[in-house]
Structure 1
Amino acid sequence: MRGPGQGHVRETNAAEEAGVVICGAGVAGLAAACALGRQGVDVLLLEKQRKQPPVAKGEVLQPGSLDLLHRWGVLPALEARRAVRLERLVARRADGSELLTMDFGALDGERPWMLSLDYATILECLEESLGAVVRRRRGVLVNDLVRDGGGRVVGLRVTEGGKEREIRAGVVLAADGRSSRLRRLSGMTADPVAYDHRLLSFELEGKPPVDDEVSAYVTDRGLVMVYPLPDERIRVYVQVAADELRKADQARLQQWCDELLADVPALAPLATALKGGLDSRQLLPVFQFRAPSLVRPGIALIGEAAHGVHPLAAQGMNTAIADAAAFASRLAAVDLTDPAAADAALRAYEGERLGSVKAIHTMSHNAARMMTSTSRGGRMLGRRLLTGTSRSPRLRHLTTYNMSGLGMRPLTALDRLVQLGLLPERRARPVGGAG
C-alpha cells in the first residue's frame, strides 16, 4: 500500500487524503511530484497562486539536473522548447578576456552541458510530465498543519474555493519558497541573510557576445552575467547597490547605462539593446540561507523552503531538483500509512541532503564573494583565486565538477593555498575523475 489516497478523492464528509501532499508548484514541488509520481506514489500538489507570475530566475539547468530530468522523462520536452545548450561557465575580465573557464565537456557526464530556458517553460515541462497519479490544484491556501495526539503532522487545513477544509497526508512536503509558511508552522527555522547588493535583470533581443556560455564578468563595479535564452534573447544581470537606482528618472537611467558600458567594454555589442531595455528591468534581492534541519515528524522541507544561494553559480534550482530526487528515492518503497516508516524515510532524506546542501551553500557563497566584491582588497583577492584556479588543471577540473551538479568534492585548505600561489600544485590526479 503506497499511500492513504490511492489516487482518488473520497466523496464523503471525511477529509481528502493523499500519500504525499506537496505545497508549492515551483521547480522544487513539481520536480518532487514528478519523481514521486513516476514511482507510483499517490501525490497531491497544491499551489496558492492561480497563475505563475513572470520572474527572472532559475533559467540555467546544470548537467546533474539534466540527468535527473532525463530519468523522469522531462528532458525531451525541454529540448523541444528550443532550449539553448551552454558548454561553459566563464569568468571574464571587464574587457572580455578570460580569468577562469569551466568547460563541462571535460567531465565524464552523459550530458556535459547546461541548458537555458525561461523559468515558466521549465515549470510547464515538469507539469506536463507529472503522470496520472499526481493530482494538482491551484488557488489553495494553507491555513495550518494538522497534527495527531503525539504532535506528528498528518495533514493540512486549507482554504479552497472560499471554503475551509482538511486534507490528510502520510507526509507533507513544504516547497513553498524562501518565506515558507509551512516551515514556520512546523517549528523549523531559517534566517535568510541579504547580500549587500542586488541584481538588476534585463531581457534583451539578440545574441550575447559569446552565445554558448554563461559569461560572468568580474568588474570593479561588481558582477555582470550574460547568457543566451531561447528565440534569440539575452539575459543580463548587473550587480547594483541596494539603493543605487532608487527613484532614478529616465535621464539617470541612461547615465547609469553609459557608465556601465564604459566600465565593462565587453558589453559594447549590447549597448543599443541595453539602452532600449531599461524600462523592462527587474530589481532582484539576493539572499543566502540554509535551514539547520529539514524534517519534523510527518513533514519535510525542499528547495527554497530549505536553502537559498547567490544566483551566480546557478545552484539554487539545481539543488532543489537534487533535493527532489533524494526525497523521492527515500520514499519509494515506504508504506506511507505507517508513520514510523515514513518518519524514518524523512530522517534518511535529511541525513543525505544536509551535508550536500552545506557544501553547495559554502561553494556558492565563496564564489559570490570572489566575484561580487567591490572593495580594492576583495577584488584583488577574488581575481587571484580565480587565476590560481585557472593555472591548475586539477583545481579547474574539480571546480567545474562541483559546479556541474554531478557531485560535490569541496576544496580543502591546501587547495586554497594552491589557488593563492602559496603552495606548489600537487601531482595531478587522473582527469577522468572529479579532481
Structure 2
Amino acid sequence: MDVLIVGGGMAGGMLAAALGDSGLRVTVLDAAPEPVMPEGPPHPRVSALTEASQRMLTQVGAWAQLPAARVQAYQRMQVWDGDGTGEVTFDAGSVQAEALGWIVENDALVAALYRARPANVQWLSRTRTQAIRRQGEHWQVTLEDGRVLSAPLLIGADGARSRVRDAAGIPAPVQDTGHVAIVGSLRSAMPHDGCARQRFLTSGPLALLPLSGDGQDCSLVWSLWPREAERLMALAPEAFEAALTQASDACLGALSFQGARQVIPIRTLHASDYVRPGLALIGDAAHVVHPLAGQGINLGLLDAAVLAEEMQRSLSRGLPAWHAAALNRYQRRRWGHNALMLRALSGIKALFEANALELRWARNTGMRWVNRLVPVKQLLAREALGRQGDLPRLARK
C-alpha cells in the first residue's frame, strides 16, 4: 500500500479519483456507510461548486456520474444589504460562461466520486480508526476491528476534528464565529429562475440556493446569532416560515420547509501547517471557512487536485510521490491562498455586521458603485467562477 486516505468525503474522494493511472496503490478509510446516490426530495446539505471545481470533477470522471436531477446550475447571483439600498447582481453571460456555478447535494457528490474511483483505489466503508502513529518511514493506522494498515503517505481528509492532524501534532485553533446556521430544503411560491440569492442582515447572511426540480425548490443557509436561532427554532412551523419569508424580503414569495430544519455550528480553523514527513492534510482537516460565500468545498477540491498534481510530478521525476519536495510544494501553493480566503470572508462578515452609520453608508454606496461598473463586476464574477489561474493537470481523462 502506498497511500492511505483517512476520510471518504468530498476532498478525500476527489484525491482518490485524481490518483487514477498513477500506479499508486491507494486505500480510502471511510467511517460512513458505502456512498449511495440520494433519491427523493433534495437533501438539505448542499455545496455551491465553481466552474473550476466542475472542470476538475469532469477530469476525474465524477461529473458524469451525477444525475441531472441532483444538480442545479445557476446563471445569476443577487446579493443585497438588508439594512440599506446596496445591491449587486451577476450574470453568467457577462463573462461568457454557461453558469456562475452549480448547486449539488453533498451526498450526491460523494456518491459520484465513489462511483468514479479508479481500479487502483480500494474504498473501505464503515471503517473507523482507533490509533495513528509514525513507525519508521511509514504511518501506521490501527482500526477499531484490530487490523493494522501502514503506508509511506498518510492523507488527513477526515474533517474539522481530524485525528490525522492531531496525530501529527499540527496546531489548528478553532475560532467561534458567533454564528450558527439554520439549514433545510424549501419550497417557494415563486420560481427561483436559476438565481442564487443572498441577503445580508445585521444578524447574519441569509442564502437561498436554487435546487433542481420544478424550479421552486431551494436550499436555505441562514447564519444567525445562537440566541436568535434558538428563538426561531422554538416557533411553530408556520410562524417560523412567516419569519423566514420576511427575512428573505419575500424575494421568492412565501417559503415553506420540506422536511426538518437543522441548526449547525459555524466555526473556522486553519492548520499551522498542511504537511509533515509522509503526511498531508486536505479539505476541512486543513481549513474551515465561513459558509457565507460557499467556498469551503471548492477550496477542499482544489487542495486534493493540487496535491495529486504534485504527487504525479514527483513520480515523473523518478521520486516517490510522498517526497518532501512534493509535499512542500503542495503546502506553498495552498496554504497562502486558503489563508487569504479566510481573512477575506472574516472581513466581509465583520463589514456587514457593523451598525455604525458611516460603515452602513460606505457598504451600500460601494455595492451600488460595483453594480454600475461592468468591468469590476466581470472581474468579481471571474473570481467567483474560480478562474484565478491554471487548474491542476490531473492524470485521468
Q: Scaled by the length of structure 1, what TM-score is found?
A: 0.78
Given the alignment, which residue of 331, 346, 351 partners 1:365? 346
2:184 equivalent to 1:202:
yes
| Matched residue, 1:395 | 376
User: What amino acid sits opposite 1:353 in the alignment?
Assistant: R
Q: Measure the CA separation in 2 of the matches of 1:105 and 1:363.
A: 26
Unmatched 5+ stretches in structure 1: 1-17, 409-435
Q: Is the 8 A contact 2:189 2:252 kept in 1?
A: no
State which of 301, 310, 314 in structure 2 corresponds to 1:321. 301
C-alpha spacing 1:76/1:105, structure 2 compared with 1 (3 Å): farther
| Structure 1 counterpart of 2:223, one-letter code | Q
Tell whether the 8 Å contact from 1:207 to 1:234 is kept in structure 2 after alignment. no
Match for residue 350 of structure 1 among 331, 340, 353 = 331
Inter-partner Cα distance in structure 2 for 1:260 and 1:171: 47
Structure 1 residue 108 displacement after superposition: 5.7
Is residue 2:278 matched to residue 1:298? Answer: yes
| SS of residue in 2 equivalent to 1:197 | strand
* Cα distance change of structure 1 residues 219 and 157 upon mapping to structure 2, 3 Å threshold: closer
Instruction: Please identify, of 90-99 and 36-45, the stretch whose mean Cα deviation from structure 2 is larger.
Output: 90-99
Counterpart mapping for 1:21-420 below 5 A: 21-50=4-33, 56-78=44-66, 80-94=68-82, 99-107=87-95, 112-149=99-136, 154-160=138-144, 162=145, 164-206=146-188, 209-232=191-214, 233-246=217-230, 251=235, 254-267=238-251, 269-271=253-255, 273-274=256-257, 277=258, 280-335=260-315, 342-371=323-352, 373=353, 375-377=355-357, 379-407=360-388
Partners in 2 of 1:245 and 1:308 — Cα distance? 21
**Structure of greater relative contact order (alpha carbons < 8 Å, 6+ residues apart):** 2
**How has the CA–CA distance of structure 1 residues 263 and 116 changed in structure 2, closer, same or farther, with 3 Å as cutoff?**
closer
**By how many angstroms is 1:83 displaced?**
1.5
Give the counterpart letter for 2:125 in structure 1. R
Q: Any idea what SS the aligned residue of 2:250 has?
A: helix
Where 1:364 maps in the other structure, the secondary structure is helix
> 1:263-316 deviations in whole A, cap 9, x for unaligned?
443246134x25xx5x71111211222212110001000000001111121110
Separation in structure 1 between the aligned mates of residue 183 and residue 91 of structure 2, nearest angstrom: 25
Q: Percent identity?
A: 24
Q: Counterpart in 1 of 2:395? A: none
Q: What is the alpha-carbon distance in structure 2 between the residues aligned to residue 351 and residue 200 of structure 1? A: 35
CA deviations 1:83-106 (Å, max 9, x no partner) are 111113220355998711233333
* 3-state DSSP of counterpart to 2:147: strand
The whole-number CA distance in structure 2 between the counterparts of 1:388 and 1:43 is: 51
Question: How many residue pairs end up in the alignment?
Answer: 381
- CA 1:39–1:118 in 2, change beyond 3 Å: closer, same or farther? same
For structure 2, the residue ranges without an aligned partner over 5 or more in a row are 390-397
Deviates more, 1:362-371 or 1:179-188: 362-371
Q: Is the 8 A contact 1:370 1:385 kept in 2?
A: no
Q: Distance in 1 between matches of 2:194 and 2:127?
A: 40
CA distance in 1, matches of 2:322, 2:187: 52
Closer, same or farther: CA 226–340 of 1 in aligned 2, 3 Å: closer
Indicate the SS of the match to 1:218.
strand
Length-normalised TM-score, structure 2: 0.85
Q: Which moved more, 1:207-216 or 1:26-35?
A: 207-216
- Alignment partner, residue 15 of structure 1: none
Alpha-carbon RMSD across the aligned residues, in angstroms, is 3.1
Aligned residues of 1:207 and 1:228 also touching (Cα < 8 A): no
**Residue type at the aligned position of 1:284:** I
Residue 372 of structure 2 aligns to which amino acid in structure 1? R
Mapped to 1, the partners of 2:34 and 2:60 lie a distance apart of 24
Shift of 1:34: 0.5
Indicate how the Cα distance of structure 1 residues 249 and 321 shifts in structure 2: closer, same or farther if over 3 A, else same.
closer
Aligned mates of 2:114, 2:49 — CA distance in 1? 16
1:38–1:229 CA distance, 2 compared to 1 (3 A)? farther
In 1: Cα distance, 2:360 partner to 2:84 partner: 17
In 2, Cα distance between the equivalents of 1:32 and 1:340?
A: 13
Secondary structure of 1:90's counterpart equals strand
Q: Quick one: distance in 1 between partners of 2:244 and 2:69?
A: 33
What amino acid is aligned across from residue 100 of structure 1 in structure 2? V
For residues 308 and 119 of structure 2, what CA distance do their matches in structure 1 show?
Answer: 17
Q: What is the identity, as a one-letter code, of the residue corresponding to 2:175?
A: V
Kindly state the Cα deviation for residue 194 of structure 1 after the two structures are TM-superposed: 1.9
Work out whether residues 95 and 265 of structure 1, in 8 Å CA contact, stay in contact via their aligned partners in 2. Answer: no
